[in-house]
Amino acid sequence: MNLFVAGLSYKTAPVELREKLAVHPSRWRCSGCRLKIAGNLSEVVLLSTCNRVEIYGVADWPRAKALRLFQLLSRTDADFSAHLYIKEGADAAKHLFSVASGLDSMVLGETEIAGQVKQAYQAAQEAKLTGRITNRLFQAALSAAKEVRTRTSIGRGATSVGSVAVELAERIFDKDLSARTVMIIGAGKMGEACVRHLAKKGARSVMVSNRSYERAEGLAAEFGGRAVRFDECLRAMTEADIVVSSTGSPDLILRQRDIASVMAARRNRPLFLIDIAVPRDIDPETQLLDNVYLYNVDHLETLVRQNVQLREQELVRCEEIISERVVEVMGKLAPRPERIFAPKNQPAWAPAQTATCAA
């Protein structure tokens, strides 16, 4: 029986194909049972995320079964072979360790995947789909992922404009955004993504100001916030701690004197301004004001590049850890030779005596 992984990911298949094969976590157990029975697998764990669908299993002749397993998932006879990868033995183990550690992710070193791997393993274990090989393999992979995170810097430093904005905001406000109010001006996608990151980190409330008040109301409703008419945004800004500006205006919409008046009304409390717009929305001279922190899209993208480079530098160390752990787990999974118990006064290498029965 061979350990294997068969799958497709963002590296091998477009999203329109991945979504056809995606399995909601609530269906992992049921789908896993179907794969085990119909595919004649002795053990199986199904992992399905937005970036990958993978089947980890133990079976005879896994390469011959891979395509059929994915046809079972899709309930079609479609040919997915051009998008599939199949790895066996130590290669399959190394792949799982890399996935769990975030080394195979679209964003290098992201940590969410470790939780998804753990959830997939627990679902399979609860459904009694795992066995000696997959139990030991997944436990070792999750342990290795934790070791990679603690011994290297692979997961440190934000790697998207939105997450960098959060990282900067947490520096300015001592890592606590729970008492902070966020305001978004305009409805640009990057600005909206910044606000989503900030809201996810616990920002207390969100205000949305847009030239189209109806659009502002719709977006505010998504965040459980309130809409602000565009000509009243300066007045509302006195309540904000973080302002994300993302309009399509060809000219500056916030000048230094505007922000100076806002700072006077808020008694000079710190104000974090994120200008995602191109052309810029906020006068760069604004950063000369006391307690005003202004970052534009170039600043944020520079930080993103620096953080990505830092993670890439850690990649060799991560791979060394994974290689060591793969050797360990494969050694434990190797078939053990049968022990020979020799009778007293007989060398252990002597042929074993065969029992006979009387006719």
State the pLDDT at residue 348.
Answer: 39
State the catalytic residues: 50
- Helices 161-172 & 189-200, crossing angle to 10 degrees? 50
In a domain, 26, yes or no: yes
> How many degrees, rounded to 5, is the angle at CA 118 between CA 322 and CA 36?
100
Same domain, 249 and 193: yes
147 and 181 assigned to the same domain: no
- 131 and 168 inside one domain: no
Return the CA Rg of the chain. 28
Same domain, 288 and 321: no
Q: Give residues with Cβ within 8 angstroms of 138, minimum separation 6.
A: 45, 56, 96, 117, 121, 130
Q: Which amino acid is at 91?
A: D
Helix (H, G, I), strand (E, B) or coil at 3: strand
| Model pLDDT, residue 337 | 56
How does DSSP assign 201-221, residue by residue? TT-SEEEEEESSHHHHHHHHH
Clarify whether residues 27 and 92 are in a common domain: yes
For residues 268 and 131, state if they share a domain.
no
Range of the domain at 49: 2-151+311-333
How far is Cα 46 from Cα 91, in angstroms, rounded to an integer?
18
**So what's the pLDDT on residue 336?**
61
111 contact partners, CB below 8 Å, separation of at least 6: 102, 149, 155
Backbone φ, ψ for residue 247 (5° rounding): -95, 175
Residue ranges in the chain assigned as alpha helix (H): 15-21, 28-38, 62-74, 89-100, 112-126, 132-151, 161-172, 189-200, 213-223, 233-237, 256-265, 297-333
Both 15 and 107 in one domain: the answer is: yes
Q: Identify whether residues 95 and 114 lie together within a single domain.
A: yes
State pTM to two decimals.
Answer: 0.70
Report pLDDT for 151: 95
For the domain that residue 58 is a member of, what is the CATH number? 3.30.460.30
pLDDT tens-digit profile, the chain (359 residues): 799 999 999 999 998 899 889 998 999 999 999 999 999 999 999 999 989 999 999 998 878 889 999 999 988 888 899 999 999 999 999 999 999 999 999 888 988 899 999 999 999 999 999 999 999 999 999 999 999 999 999 988 878 888 888 889 988 998 889 889 999 999 777 778 888 888 888 888 999 999 999 989 998 998 899 999 999 999 999 999 999 998 988 899 999 999 999 999 999 999 999 998 888 999 999 999 999 999 998 898 898 888 899 999 999 999 999 999 999 999 999 876 544 444 444 443 333 333 333 33
Q: Please report whether residue 46 resides in a domain.
A: yes
**pLDDT in the model for residue 345:** 47
Please give the Cα distance from 261 to 275 (Å, whole number): 19
Q: How far apart are CA 29 and CA 348, in angstroms?
A: 47
Domains identified in the chain, total number: 2
Domain CATH code at residue 281: 3.40.50.720
What is the pLDDT at residue 19? 87
147 lies in the same domain as 90: yes
DSSP 136: H
Residues 224 and 123 in one domain: no
pLDDT of residue 352: 37
Rounded to whole angstroms, the Cα distance separating 22 from 199 reads 28
Which residue shows structure tokens 């061979």? 2
DSSP 8-state symbol, 266: T
CA-nearest of 101, 138, 121, 117 to 52 is 117
Tokens (6 digits) for 230 = 């565009």
- Residue 144 included in any domain: yes
- The two most distant CA atoms of the chain are separated, in Å, by 110
